Amino acid sequence: MRAVTGNGERRIARREFLAGAGAALVPLRAEEAAPVFDIHCHPPFPGHSEGWILRHQRALGIQTSVLLPINSAAAHTGVLPSFNIAKGSAIRMATEYPNEFVAFTLVDPRRSDAARTLRREFGAGARGIGELEFPIDCDSPKLDPIYELAGEFGRPVLQHFEYGAANRKFERFEKVVAKYPRVPFIGHAQTWWGNIDLHHRQEQIWPEPDWRVTPGGITDRLLRDYPNVFGDLSASSGLNALTRDRGHARAFLERHQDKLLFGTDCIHEGPAGAAKCFGGRTLEVLRELAPSQEILRKILWINSRKLLGMPESV
């Protein structure tokens, strides 16, 4: 099958693509052959094509990726009108490649038709909501219709928490989690991962790489106390949470082995060995720090599949 992406690039059928690209990729080592599920991949938008996603998947040994549309509000500038990017391509790719892609959908919660739009897109095949990255408080009444609909359908909500910018007032998020026990909440980004530390200062967006972690922060407690809370380890924020204090990370991975989800959130030039390939670096760290192969398999594969109601086998 062939089609044309929004930026004019010809889309390549997966079988054709892999046949042509496999020789240029370094084969996975035997110990890395366990399946990998990426909870955080963005679908094609300008500069980030379907071919790029397929190459990135193959290079990292990823079997399945969740495609998360983004919204112009993610820039947090308030300059551009709100519009979604790559929502349609996410659902289309998931429909064409159901074993390899899962589509989430997205709405601006400040729109009066947000819940109605979500209901329609769930019917079209969207399996969750995200990435929610809007400059409003995480407990804003404008988010209630989205949380209520997610609870009705049992669909996960993946949220980007960034102090002063997106899903603000993180210290109040526990009330949201308690209010909507049927919603699987997936936390992500700087403020989410900074708060594994009991002594985290909310205005400190990026903790220093060598700051030791004292267990008991907001995120640590949410993962411990609420069955409907999960953590997305993607991007530099997830990587930093693992590498800033490796001793803590080993215990953290064991403590929350059923709640943590591997993700990439990569946008860079060339998937193999790229300096900014957070996914590849996070995979290396997880393989180093995971207390057991069983725990590693949960984080890389089982937890995400279970969360989305998918069978453990590919």
Beta strands in the chain (DSSP E): 3-4, 10-11, 36-41, 62-67, 70-71, 84-85, 101-103, 129-132, 157-160, 185-188, 229-232, 260-261
The DSSP code sequence of 258-312 is TTEE-------S-SSS-TT-HHHHHHHHHHHH-SSHHHHHIIIIIHHHHHTT--S
Name the strands in the sheet holding 36-41, side by side, starting at the edge strand that comes first in the sequence. Answer: 36-41, 62-67, 101-103
35-307: CATH topology: TIM Barrel (3.20.20)
Residue 251 has phi, psi (to 5 degrees) of -70, -35
Least confident range of 200-214, 236-250, 290-304:
200-214
* Domain limits, the chain: 35-307
Candidates 288, 190, 277; CA nearest to 243 is 288
Least confident range of 31-35, 142-146, 303-307:
31-35
Average pLDDT over residues 74-91: 66
135 is written with which tokens? 């400059």
Q: Looking at per-residue confidence, does 84 or 300 come out higher?
A: 300
Average pLDDT over residues 20-37: 50
Query: Is 9's pLDDT higher than 90?
Result: no
Provide the pLDDT for residue 278.
86
Average pLDDT over residues 243-250: 96
pLDDT in tens, 133-176: 999 999 999 999 999 999 999 999 999 999 999 999 999 999 99
